[in-house]
Structure 1
């Protein structure tokens, strides 16, 4: 289910790309940042001090007074005295490296939360403490300097938590690399993200099908859940457009409507939420195609949960927009051996495999610009189901 984006138009801004890279990087940093102190004053205690002797002028002699220098500068008898006194300062390497780390960490957090406000939820206390420490002495008066390779080795030898800090610095250095480097490093398919990769694979099948059917694909920005704008716009040669939403709960406020789910659950003491299909396509005439992704080797899970969600999304959209809705659940090849569809009052409901998406897209995009599916299109859906 690969999707090549070489022919996809894109109007991503530099800020969009940077925000996505920062979002990925913040996820990578979480296991390290969560181990850092949650109090700003703890960083002051952790910074080792060095004892330095500095030149100073005083109004009275001290044990460190230099009488020759005093006589040269102030004559005899002198009115002021030149000497040296001991002063304690934070270790220069650790302080400048820590200031750089805290500033870059705050930058990554600000950019990532602009895309997803809860991106820092698990490490908010640690980053807040770091930001407060950076604004206080001794860090406030030192310049932020990114340490080099040999400096990192010295930082690691300073003990706890400096080994963790050096690892964070090493990861933050990825900010100087191309943003795609971050994405590539985090896309190794493990059990925790396979469902998400299936979701993205189905998105790729939908976009590939649109291109093969003669539609031009334009990316509207980073793919993000619950956004208030479509992730892609599909355009045909006649000027018709189809908006494609990713995790489409944001379509309700975009249409100026309140989610039926939010209305039904308003009596429960929970933050208002909106249900959103994994993928949702809306034609310029108002017709909808809902695509729900169900990644599981369990046929019962794909069938039952997929059907429940497809019907729910179809019912919500049809009841509020009075448009025609086609809603499908997509399960893995082999788990779903062939497509099946049924007609309900709320629209056309089906379960299919990824290889059937192109035909589903062809029928959806070929529907006449009306609120009801034509009999001919209905027969073709039935043929797909058979």
Structure 2
């Protein structure tokens, strides 16, 4: 834990690092032959009533044990209070809504790869729904390379003197060559950031998808329900299949996913 928080809380680490690592050395030497056991509620209650420092140890141990099994506690007590992680928690929540919608349709979810904050080489989930196999991406910036299609973004910015990074939606549900739903997650109380900036990105992802990844594509910016109070969209008059860009809240995600999948069955 000390190593994990060194960057975020250097002053705190400076105060506790020496005694913590001293305790670790004691565990490695004097307690090397003692079997480590997970404390139960009676152990924690006994520690809590034993005075300092055992009462503090009991509180920390109880939190760690709860975080192993209670995902709501882990998310809202330990992750959400950190502003730098709040937006990522929203991103994960949208992913959860997509998976919940798939399961409600009787789909089978197969895990392919760990979730990554950077460019992914392939989809993290395989979804088997009826006769089709869908790809579900968490960070879809590697989609063009994965599906072996040319990226309009890379071609359009080839003359810019900088290292190009691929672009891609935060989440993409794709039936390769046929349909794709892109979701750009915007966690903010500012409507201009969610709407204006989100629209710019969602529109870009629509262009990328319709350039070889899928014949029909829907691209939505997803924001908090306090900011995006109703779902809105516009249908573009493009040749070929559907081309839709719009906005919705996290409450609209399941409906979008269900509509996309049911219409393909």
Is this a same-fold pair by TM over 0.5? Answer: yes
User: Which residue number corresponds to residue 352 of structure 1?
Assistant: 248
8 Å contact 1:199–1:278 — kept in the other structure? Answer: yes
Structure 2: stretches of 5+ with no match in the other structure: 11-20, 30-63
Q: Does 1:257 align with 2:234?
A: no
Task: Choose the corresponding residue for 1:229, options 122, 125, 129.
Answer: 122
Larger relative contact order (C-alpha < 8 A, sep ≥ 6)? 1
1:340 to 224, 232, 245: 232
* 2-structure distance, mates of 1:259, 1:190: 35
- Structure index of larger Rg: 1
Gaps of 5+ in 1: 1-23, 34-96, 98-145, 152-176, 370-386
* TM-aligned CA distance change 1:150 to 1:242, over 3 Å: closer
Shift of 1:284: 4.6
**d(CA) in 1 for partners of 2:231 and 2:25?**
58
Q: Residue 309 in 1 paired to residue 187 in 2?
A: no
In structure 2, the partner of 1:148 is 26
**CA–CA separation in structure 2 for the residues paired with 1:255 and 1:284:** 8
TM-score by length of 2: 0.69
**CA-to-aligned-CA distance 1:53-104 (integer Å, 9 cap, x gap):** xxxxxxxxxxxxxxxxxxxxxxxxxxxxxxxxxxxxxxxxxxxx9xxxxxxx
Cα distance in 2 for partners of 1:25, 1:355 equals 38
Q: Distance in 1 between matches of 2:211 and 2:111?
A: 29
Residues 226 and 246, structure 1, Cα contact 8 Å, conserved in 2: no
- 8 A Cα contact 1:259 1:275, kept in partner: no
2:262 equivalent in structure 1:
366
CA offset at residue 262 of structure 1? 2.1
Write the distance in 1 (CA, Å) between the matches of 2:156 and 2:212. Answer: 14
Q: 2:206 aligns to what SS in structure 1? A: helix
- Superposed, 1:205-216 pairs within 5 Å as 205-216=97-108
Structural RMSD (CA): 3.4
Question: In the alignment, does 2:175 pair up with 1:283?
Answer: yes
1:248 and 1:28 map into 2 onto residues whose CA distance is 29
Report the Cα distance in structure 2 between the residues aligned to 1:211 and 1:205, rounded to whole angstroms: 10
Could you tell me which residue of structure 1 aligns to residue 89 of structure 2?
A: 197
Is contact 1:240–1:284 with CA below 8 Å preserved after alignment? no
Distance apart, 1:186 and its partner CA: 5.8
Aligned to 2:5: 28
d(CA) in 2 for partners of 1:274 and 1:320? 16
Structure 1 residue 293 displacement after superposition: 0.7
Aligned residues: 214
Decide whether the 8 Å contact of 1:333 with 1:353 is kept in 2. yes
